[in-house]
Amino acid sequence: MNAEVRSIRTAAETALSEIFASAFAGLPGDAAVAERRRTAFDAFKVAGLPSRRVEDWKYTDLRALMRDAKPIAGAPDGVMIAAARGALAPYAAIDATRVTFVNGRFVEELSDLATAEGVSVTLLKDTLANGAGVAALSDGVSPVGNVAVALNAAFVADGVVVSVAPGVTASRPIHVANIQAGSEHAAYGRVVATVGEGGNVLLIESHIGDAGAHQTNSVVTLDVADGARVELVKIQDESLDTLHLATLAVRLGAKAELKTFALAAGARAARQQIYVSFTGDASTAEIRGAGFAGASRHLDTTLVVEHDAVGCASREHFKTALDGEARSVFQGKIVVKPGAQKTDGKMMAQALLLSEGAEADAKPELEIFADDVVCGHGATVGALDDELLFYLKSRGIPQKEAEALMVQAFVGEVIEAIEHEGLREIVTDRALAWLTART
């Protein structure tokens, strides 16, 4: 007699099924998009929320972290829009093409869609209805069956489609602002960007939220053609009760250049998935990030860089400062495919523990199937240098201020890599705010 073993569905999994059934008919898109949504949600139903038994989620048990599923947010009211306007204040000095979403809904009065010739910025909901929607809901280079990506494809109602024509440099950054306001809810967003041969653009992705146990799920796919250059700066500063799932999937052509920076300063639990695939020769990628967490917050960075071309270089560097009983996770993998000779890959994860209860887990990996490569990885976890701390205190600097100076110096290396001065200042100010709050 064979017994059929079935995992018990959690309250969150059951609720997601009910929400999808009730929301499906109102989601934008033609018949092909509807089928894509069904397929994505069916994949989720088969897999369920990942637990620590799933290797890729070993350190971030989403089944345990996501106890319930929030309802999809409704249209924002005037109070929410007013709150969102205030949340955008730090970005006011940045002259950008701005697309603002409040609770996942586009808000025209907080947006500025003006672009230069050769740069197109349109709403995803319009693309979903015009026959190109299935491609816009593609997983990109992210792994097949990834639950966070599948849920985004199933539920996302709006987002941004960016196109930069060959040889065009966007004169202004493109800022996609995601703001959560009001009661607890779930919001899904997506950015689909294509940069033509020789194109150049700075993309800004911000996530801001007021108090509330929101659930956010965002996907960004970038297709960077030969000789193109993209810089992407992400600032995640949501409510400390938020569950944040984010995916970045990038395909690089030949002689392309990618620079990314991600700040994790908010959310109760946040997972940033980054998948980069080198498909053309002689391309480069610099992937950096910084995180700050206290209390019992959980920050996860999962990174896979796949070299499948000749003469490409990648640099990955992430730094995290942890206080209280916070926990950080770094899972990084460099894969060098057969034939990807002359690959140059370096990966480093560093965590600074500011309390006895903080914890950092690091799992760097290399998978190399070519013989003419230079690859390396490293990870460090440690506390503040006692001798240096004593030196600063002996010069009359109070302990908390001395600790703040040392943490600033620790994360400054990755923050300084942000080219845009205004964005660099925003990130620096957020780091200072966190350090000040510790005191």
Q: How confident is the model at residue 4 (pLDDT cuts 50, 70, 90)?
A: very low
Buried b (16+ CB within 10 A) or exposed e, 58-84: ebbbbbebbeebbebbeebeeebbebb
Strand ranges (E), 47-132:
97-102, 105-106, 119-123
- Share above pLDDT 90 across residues of the chain, in percent, rounded to a whole number: 92
**Position 3 pLDDT exceeds 50:** no
Phi, psi of 408 (to 5 degrees): -60, -45
Nearest-angstrom CA–CA distance, 297 and 292: 9
Q: What is the pLDDT of residues 394-418, one digit of tens each?
A: 999 999 899 999 999 999 999 999 9
CA–CA separation, 101 and 84 (whole Å)? 9
Mean of the per-residue pLDDT values of the chain: 95
Q: How confident is the model at residue 343 (pLDDT cuts 50, 70, 90)?
A: very high
Q: Find all residues with CB under 8 Å of 407, minimum gap 6, and list them.
A: 321, 352, 354, 384, 431, 435
- CA dist 177 and 80 (Å) reads 14
Q: How confident is the model at residue 131 (pLDDT cuts 50, 70, 90)?
A: confident
* d(C-alpha 104, C-alpha 124), whole Å: 12
Name the band, by pLDDT with cuts 50, 70 and 90, for residue 439: low
> Quick check: 1 pLDDT over 80?
no
Closest by Cα among 28, 130, 26 to 71: 26
Q: Domain limits of the chain?
A: 11-280, 386-439
On the question of pLDDT at 143 being above 70, the answer is yes
Q: What is the pLDDT of residues 278-324, one digit of tens each?
A: 999 999 999 999 999 999 999 999 999 999 999 999 999 999 999 99
User: Which of 347, 327, 322 has the alpha carbon at shortest distance from 336?
Assistant: 347
pLDDT of residue 212: 80
